[in-house]
């Protein structure tokens, strides 16, 4: 699809479809058409990377299958690796294209600052950690205070959008683990069938040898 042929509305729709699949924040606006196209391209690249990594991780699960059984520890480690890959956060390269219509340098910085506040960090510590992760951000103590005030207006200090995003990540993680278990079981069955066939062939060869006939 040629993104240059799409208007802002279509670009935002496409971006948000990809963002939903990846479990990241959606957008209602962008600085420009170029910023929207760049954000979409970044998400598409991340989607491809996740698909490739998931395939490699599934192969890793197959590799830990022994001749007739799967090591529980190895299988658990492989599935944990898949889950970590699927839920890995996008880098600031994706977040830098987010809309600046809201107060604060960009939504990525704001989301991180709010997360720190919800974790109990005071304004000074939250600001220090934000600037450590986003060294180019223009975040100030006033921005942190604004985020804290905004969170205080949400019942219980809980952000519904964050809860939905976290739920989507958990669902993706559960799906990845279920898929890994299924693939591990299929691989183990194939190994068992292969070993049984080899054993049968060996027995037939021994019987033939004992009878003085070719197998």
CA distance 45 to 190: 34
Domain assignment of residue 131, yes or no: no
Look at 14-18, 104-108, 155-159 and tell me which has the smallest mean pLDDT.
104-108
Is there a contact between 118 and 157 (Cβ–Cβ < 8 Å)? yes
Mean pLDDT for the stretch of residues 50-60: 68
Domain assignment of residue 132, yes or no: no
Of the two residues 22 and 156, the one the predictor is more confident about is 22
Q: At what angle do helices 72-86 and 33-63 cross, to 10 degrees?
A: 180
CA pseudo-torsion sign 148, 154, 160, 163? positive
Say if residue 128's pLDDT is above 90.
yes
Domain assignment of residue 86, yes or no: yes
Domain assignment of residue 117, yes or no: no
Q: Which of 202, 200, 190 is nearest to 69 (CA)?
A: 190
Domain assignment of residue 137, yes or no: no
Domain assignment of residue 171, yes or no: yes
Domain assignment of residue 92, yes or no: yes
* Structural domain for 35, as ranges: 3-101+159-211
User: Per the structure, how many domains does the chain have?
Assistant: 1
Mean pLDDT for the stretch of residues 57-78: 53
The pairs formed by 80-86 with CB atoms below 8 angstroms and a separation of 24 or more are: 81/57, 82/54, 82/57, 82/58, 82/176, 82/177, 82/179, 82/180, 83/173, 83/176, 83/177, 85/50, 85/53, 85/54, 85/57, 85/176, 86/50, 86/54, 86/172, 86/173, 86/176
pTM above 0.75, yes or no: no
Domain assignment of residue 113, yes or no: no
Is there a contact between 110 and 147 (Cβ–Cβ < 8 Å)? yes
Mean pLDDT for the stretch of residues 126-138: 90
């Amino acid at each position: 699809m040629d993104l240059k042929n799409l208007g802002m509305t279509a670009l935002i729709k496409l971006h948000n479809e990809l963002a939903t699949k990846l479990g990241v924040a959606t957008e209602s606006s962008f600085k420009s058409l170029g910023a929207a196209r760049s954000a979409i391209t970044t998400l598409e690249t991340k989607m491809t990377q996740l698909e490739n990594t998931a395939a490699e991780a599934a192969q890793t699960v197959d590799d830990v299958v022994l001749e007739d059984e799967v090591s529980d520890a190895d299988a658990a480690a492989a599935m944990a690796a898949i889950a970590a890959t699927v839920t890995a956060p996008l880098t600031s390269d994706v977040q830098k294209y987010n809309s600046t219509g809201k107060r604060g340098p960009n939504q990525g910085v704001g989301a991180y600052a709010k997360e720190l506040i919800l974790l109990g960090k005071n304004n000074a510590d939250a600001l220090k950690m934000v600037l450590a992760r986003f060294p180019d951000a223009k975040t100030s103590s006033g921005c942190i205070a604004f985020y804290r005030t905004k969170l205080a207006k949400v019942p219980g200090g809980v952000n519904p959008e964050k809860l939905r995003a976290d739920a989507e990540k958990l669902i993706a993680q559960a799906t990845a683990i279920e898929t890994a278990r299924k693939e591990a079981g299929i691989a183990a069955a194939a190994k068992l069938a292969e070993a049984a066939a080899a054993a049968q062939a060996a027995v037939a060869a021994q019987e033939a040898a004992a009878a003085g006939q070719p197998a």
